[in-house]
């Protein structure tokens, strides 16, 4: 009988604006313990840890020692930036389904101000990091927003997506955030503030089109079905995949130098996970799409075939992203409005939705898709409500 | 289809690592004042940015080639502000020329790649994906893209 990997437990710290003063290492410990508690297992039973490379809060080695893990069968770091979110679940699943680990802890912690500094700091351990500076800076590259602004231009040339749609996207995510107990940006944006020319930054974006910076930590425990004594709380991982897509580049920011749009690392992942899950996109009840910008999420909705090409503007006009809408998306407000987690809180929200315990619940949710961003090596997963 | 008649500026030397390769690229581009890509000596595939080895055939024999004078806009990004934000910074030498546009253009002579160039001035209002551009070069700003026609 093949082992089926499930998300057995989730946990997180409070989400606060940046500068809370909470040390990131203690936040990691807190969320890790909370996930173990939710799974109903002692932290000592964790025997593998999977984390984002760029999470400097606590190494896997230090966390395993502090949790008192009886043994560690794997310590893994995923270097794909935001693309890592579902990849953590994918790797955990591989470990569990192969029998190499029993209980895998996955986590992401961010101290918002530290993260912003880290994003613009060269790192000698990642030599290709400088490819963005080396090849794009002279022509005016400004940072990660440049890549998504370039993606917007390619989309807009095919389907026309106005700044009005981005305004609606930002407010749709804030509206979803407002229905949750914990979120950073819940107040609707006014037209005056959004369309004020002084708010313009890069491409179609304003300073309101980026994610909400926060201090937070979130964790999940992946086990085999039946490992814990709480099978009714398990969420099944029925598909997961990673891809670097067509035209692989050496660093995320080089995505505008590719010419394969709309094909992307995410379109390759989407095909893989729908095929593995044996479901059609129309069967997805709730979509948790990476949303570092107001456009990123819209492009992923189409990439994952959750509407027709060019149809996402109509979804926004119809207010479809609501939990009771026709296409629920980022019901927690996403990283965009709830607080930036490099996409990992999307895994937690998917789990809550499928347990039917979310603050902003989609009625009768059975399938959730989690999608990481489309500009570099990336990942995605399909989760299903447990039959138990 | 790669042109076999591209002007070759000499061998690229990946043996000293990625940063040295980037430094070499900058030297070649400034010396010849044109758009430059890397071409495999074995299979003639082209790439930008340059790589340590050909990703198609694995050959380490690579050369710098000219991309010609004209291109089509693949995508572009206009920068509207000279003010940095926590997640973005404007290159210091470009702050005085905001708004400016980063253009990612597919050279007509090397259509499989895109190269980055800078567009300045009122022409930015008319740039579209697919626009025809001509390359220029500025000592202050490097490779420039100007709308044609």
- Tokens matching residue B30: 């400034």
pLDDT tens-digit map of B27-38: 999 999 999 999
Q: What is the largest CA-CA distance in chain B?
A: 46
* Residue pairs between chains A and B whose CB atoms are closer than 8 Å: 132
Q: Does A119 touch chain B (CB under 8 A)?
A: yes
Per-residue pLDDT at A194: 98
H/E stretch holding A221 = strand A215-224
pLDDT band at B130; cut points 50, 70, 90: very high
CA–CA gap between residue A81 and residue A255 (Å, rounded): 14
**Residue pointed to by tokens 């930008």:** B48
Measured CA distances, A271 to A79, A268, B36 (Å): 22, 5, 36
Q: Any idea what DSSP says for residue A117?
A: H
* Low-confidence winner among A23-27, A198-202, A371-375, B5-9 (lowest mean pLDDT): B5-9
Contact across the interface for A259 and B114, Cβ inside 8 Å = yes
> What percent of chain A lies above the pLDDT cut of 70?
97
Picking from A136, A201, A256, the nearest residue to B75 by CB comes out as A256
Give the number of other CB atoms < 10 A from CB of residue A186: 18
pLDDT tens-digit map of A239-275: 999 999 999 999 899 999 999 999 999 999 999 999 9
Q: Does B116 touch chain A (CB under 8 A)?
A: yes
Q: Is residue A202 within 8 Å of residue A145, measured between CB atoms?
A: yes
Picking from A116, A139, A197, the nearest residue to B102 by CB comes out as A139
Q: Does A259 touch chain B (CB under 8 A)?
A: yes
Taking 80 as the threshold, does the pLDDT of residue A213 lie above it?
yes
Is the complex ipTM higher than 0.90? yes
CA–CA gap between residue A21 and residue A26 (Å, rounded): 11
Per-residue pLDDT at A186: 97
Helix A296-303, helix A265-277: angle, nearest 10:
50
What burial letters (b/e) apply to A90-99, b meaning 16+ CB within 10 Å? bbbbbbbbee
CA–CA gap between residue A79 and residue B140 (Å, rounded): 36
Q: Does B89 touch chain A (CB under 8 A)?
A: yes
> Pairing relation of β-strands A103-111 and A48-52?
parallel
What burial letters (b/e) apply to A310-348, b meaning 16+ CB within 10 Å? eebbebbeeebbbbebebbbbbbbbbbbbbbbbbbbbbb
Mean pLDDT (chain A, rounded): 95
pLDDT band at A210; cut points 50, 70, 90: very high
Contact across the interface for B88 and A131, Cβ inside 8 Å = no
Contact across the interface for A130 and B88, Cβ inside 8 Å = no
* Low-confidence winner among A113-127, A164-178, A351-365, B118-132 (lowest mean pLDDT): A113-127
In B6-45, the residues whose Cβ lies within 8 Å of chain A are 17-19, 22, 25-26
Q: Any idea what DSSP says for residue B14?
A: G
Contact across the interface for B114 and A257, Cβ inside 8 Å = yes
- Tokens matching residue A234: 């398990």
Taking 60 as the threshold, does the pLDDT of residue B3 lie above it?
no
Picking from A137, A200, A203, the nearest residue to B77 by CB comes out as A203
């Amino acid at each position: 009988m093949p082992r089926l990997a499930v998300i057995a437990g989730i946990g997180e710290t409070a989400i606060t604006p940046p500068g809370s003063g909470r040390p990131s290492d203690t936040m990691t410990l807190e969320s890790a313990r909370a996930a173990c508690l939710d799974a109903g297992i002692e932290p000592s039973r964790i025997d593998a840890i999977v984390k984002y490379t760029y999470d400097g809060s606590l190494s896997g080695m230090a966390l395993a020692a502090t949790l008192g893990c009886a043994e560690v069968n794997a310590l893994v770091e995923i270097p794909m930036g935001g693309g890592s979110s579902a990849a953590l679940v994918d790797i955990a699943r591989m470990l569990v389904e192969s029998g190499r680990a029993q209980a895998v802890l996955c986590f992401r912690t961010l101290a918002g101000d530290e993260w912003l500094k880290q994003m613009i700091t060269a790192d000698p351990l990642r030599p290709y990091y400088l490819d963005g500076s080396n090849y794009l800076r002279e022509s005016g590259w400004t940072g990660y927003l440049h890549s998504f602004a370039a993606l917007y231009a390619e989309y807009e040339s095919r389907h026309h997506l106005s700044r009005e749609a981005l305004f609606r996207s930002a407010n749709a995510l804030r509206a979803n955030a407002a229905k949750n107990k914990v979120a950073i940006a819940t107040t609707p944006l006014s037209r005056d503030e959004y369309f004020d020319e002084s708010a313009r930054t890069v491409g179609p974006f304003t300073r309101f089109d980026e994610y909400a910076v926060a201090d937070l930590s979130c964790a999940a425990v992946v086990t085999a079905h039946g490992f814990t004594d709480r099978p009714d709380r398990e969420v099944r991982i029925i598909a997961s995949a990673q891809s670097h897509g067509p035209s692989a580049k050496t660093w995320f920011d080089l995505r505008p130098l590719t010419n394969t749009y709309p094909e992307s690392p995410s379109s390759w992942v989407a095909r893989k996970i729908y095929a593995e899950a044996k479901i059609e996109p129309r069967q997805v009840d709730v979509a948790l799409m990476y949303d570092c910008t107001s456009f990123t999420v819209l492009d992923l909705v189409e990439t994952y075939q959750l509407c027709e090409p060019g149809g996402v503007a109509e979804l926004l006009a119809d207010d479809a992203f609501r939990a009771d809408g026709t296409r629920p998306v980022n019901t927690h407000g996403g990283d965009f409005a709830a607080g930036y987690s490099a996409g990992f809180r999307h895994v937690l929200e998917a789990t809550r939705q499928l347990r039917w315990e979310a603050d902003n619940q989609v009625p009768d949710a059975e399938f959730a898709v989690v999608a990481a961003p489309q500009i570099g090596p990336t990942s995605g997963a399909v989760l299903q409500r447990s039959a138990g | 289809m790669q042109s076999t008649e591209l002007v070759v500026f000499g061998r690229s030397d990946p043996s000293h690592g990625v940063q040295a390769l980037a430094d070499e690229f900058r030297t070649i581009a400034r010396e010849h004042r044109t758009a430059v890509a890397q071409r495999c000596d074995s299979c003639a595939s082209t790439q930008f940015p340059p790589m340590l080895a050909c990703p198609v055939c694995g050959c380490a024999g690579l050369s710098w080639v000219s991309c010609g004078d004209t291109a089509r806009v693949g995508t572009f990004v206009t920068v509207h502000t000279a003010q940095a934000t926590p997640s973005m910074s404007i290159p210091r030498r470009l702050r005085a020329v905001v708004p400016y546009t980063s253009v990612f253009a597919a050279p007509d002579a090397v259509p499989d790649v895109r190269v980055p160039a800078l567009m300045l001035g009122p022409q930015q209002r008319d740039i579209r994906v697919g626009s025809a551009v001509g390359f220029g070069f500025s000592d202050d700003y490097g490779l420039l893209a100007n709308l044609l026609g």
